[in-house]
């Protein structure tokens, strides 16, 4: 397969980790006979520095002619700590998501057996946890009409959803269960919210076309409890934007290793893949950033193009690196491996495993 991949390393440790993901992708290309063509572009603080714009037109053009985008991280204290800053790095990411129509955020959450002692949860609770959250990303209260009264004493935010917005993500989530455990949990607050009742109605109807998928429902407050009490019960969780924000961040910490978590943002056309961690500017260029989340984001990219064996090869190489203790200091403070060596190990393993 030929793939054109736009690389947007961004700020802080973004460039440090994206280069390692590219190594793994190149190894997959060599091992499986694919051709991946990479084109780099500016985004975030570095783009503001060089062009004044956190998402220059040229970058958007590079993304739009690509098949997928591999994103690093965004954010720099120079702008974040300046309340007067008119352009902010984050605007680049938001504009990019919008321009590419990325309406679904996908976040796999997995407890790696070798890292289980790092979890804040007890071993018997976190063991076996392996689920994915499908969060609606462009609708709901974050994007609804905002009002503030003239005298500034009454404020409001509108949460709105249409059938069509729910349908498109619901199909993605139902399909995703089929390569997993065939179980979908809709998280909502249908006992109180009209939008949640619409979600429940639409998802129930769509569920009839997926008779092999077990569908259940959980109120968001209960979901927030269940993620702590019994996270291994979940397979795929589907939810609206704000609930997804809260639930997926809650879920991100239960494995104890946020530096490993990848994500995908998917729309009708070009998809984007990125680690969930931030730009961590203090670690920039120090060869200490954990490249695994970025490498697993590359695996999600391959999965997106149905290159399942290729994706699994990366995932397996990552698991081997964890098992053998070839990890950055965030996972083992006595480790002498840096970002580069971990990236090399994983890429070598991919080639070697074939």
Q: Which residues are catalytic?
A: 142, 189, 221, 245, 249
Tell me which residue of 261, 266, 308 sits closest to 17, measured CA to CA. Answer: 261
Q: Is 80 in the site for its own copies (CB under 8 A)?
A: no
Torsion angle, alpha carbons of 310, 313, 317, 318, to 10: 70
Torsion angle, alpha carbons of 111, 113, 118, 124, to 10: 80
DSSP line for 185-210: EEEE-TTT-HHHHHHHHHHHHHHTT-
Select 31 or 190, whichever has its Cβ closest to its own copies: 190
Query: Residues 217 to 236: which contact Mg ion by CB under 5 A?
Result: 221
Select 116 or 307, whichever has its Cβ closest to its own copies: 116
Query: Residues 98 to 127: which contact Mg ion by CB under 5 A?
Result: none
Query: Residues 23 to 82: which contact Mg ion by CB under 5 A?
Result: none
Whole-number Å distance between alpha carbons of 144 and 94: 15
In the block, residue with structure tokens 């480790």? 335
Q: Is 58 in the site for its own copies (CB under 8 A)?
A: no
CA angle 185, 106, 100 (to 5 degrees): 130
Select 1 or 193, whichever has its Cβ closest to its own copies: 193
Closest residue to bound Mg ion by CB: 221
Helix (H, G, I), strand (E, B) or coil at 5: strand
Select the residue interacting with Mg ion from 245, 250, 287, 348 (CB under 5 A). 245
Which residues are within 8 A (CB) of 349 and not within 5 positions of it... i.e. 6 or more apart? 316, 317, 320, 321
Select 27 or 133, whichever has its Cβ closest to Mg ion: 133
Which residues are within 8 A (CB) of 67 and not within 5 positions of it... i.e. 6 or more apart? 3, 4, 5, 270, 305
Q: Is 210 in the site for its own copies (CB under 8 A)?
A: no
The one-character DSSP state at 250 is H
Whole-number Å distance between alpha carbons of 71 and 94: 13
Q: Is 159 in the site for its own copies (CB under 8 A)?
A: yes
Select 225 or 353, whichever has its Cβ closest to its own copies: 225
Contact letters (x/-) for its own copies, 115-134, by CB under 8 A?
A: ----xxxx--x---------
Select the residue interacting with its own copies from 61, 85, 192, 353 (CB under 8 A). 192
Select the residue interacting with Mg ion from 58, 145, 249, 312 (CB under 5 A). 249
Point out which span in 5-13, 53-61, 249-257, 272-280 binds its own copies (CB under 8 A).
Answer: 249-257
Binding site for Mg ion (CB under 5 A): 221, 245, 249
Residues at the contact surface with its own copies, assessed by CB under 8 A: 119-122, 125, 141-142, 144, 146-148, 152-164, 189, 192-195, 197-198, 201, 220-222, 224-225, 228-229, 242, 245-247, 249-250, 252-254
């Amino acid at each position: 397969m030929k793939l054109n991949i736009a690389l947007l390393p961004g700020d802080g440790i973004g460039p440090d980790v994206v280069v390692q993901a590219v190594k793994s992708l190149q190894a997959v290309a060599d091992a499986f006979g694919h051709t991946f063509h990479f084109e780099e572009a500016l985004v975030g603080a570095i783009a503001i520095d060089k062009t004044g714009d956190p998402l220059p037109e040229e970058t958007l053009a590079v993304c739009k002619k690509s098949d997928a985008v591999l994103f690093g991280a965004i954010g720099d204290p120079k702008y974040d700590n300046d309340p007067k800053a008119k352009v902010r790095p984050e605007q680049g990411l938001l504009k990019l998501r919008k321009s590419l129509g990325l309406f679904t955020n996908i976040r796999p959450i997995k407890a790696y057996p070798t890292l289980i002692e790092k979890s804040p949860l007890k071993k018997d609770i976190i063991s076996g946890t392996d689920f994915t959250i499908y969060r609606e990303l462009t609708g709901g209260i974050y994007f609804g009409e905002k009002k503030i009264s003239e005298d500034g004493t009454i404020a409001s935010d509108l949460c709105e959803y249409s059938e069509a917005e729910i349908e498109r993500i619901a199909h993605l989530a139902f399909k995703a269960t089929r390569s997993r455990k065939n179980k979908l949990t809709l998280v909502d607050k249908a006992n109180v919210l009209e939008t949640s009742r619409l979600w429940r109605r639409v998802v129930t109807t769509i569920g009839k076309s997926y008779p092999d998928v077990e569908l259940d429902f959980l109120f968001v407050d209960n979901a927030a409890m269940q993620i702590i009490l019994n996270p291994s019960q979940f397979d795929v969780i589907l939810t609206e934007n704000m609930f997804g924000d809260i639930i997926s961040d809650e879920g991100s910490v239960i494995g104890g290793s946020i530096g490993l978590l990848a994500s995908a943002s998917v729309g009708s056309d070009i998809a984007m893949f990125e680690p969930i961690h931030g730009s961590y500017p203090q670690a920039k260029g120090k060869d200490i950033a954990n490249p695994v989340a970025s490498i697993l984001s590359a695996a999600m990219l391959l999965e997106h193009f149905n290159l399942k064996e290729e994706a699994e090869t990366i995932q397996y190489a990552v698991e081997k690196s964890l098992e053998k203790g070839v990890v950055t200091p965030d996972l083992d403070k006595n480790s002498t491996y840096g970002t580069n060596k971990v990236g090399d190990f994983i890429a070598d393993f991919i080639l070697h495993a074939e």
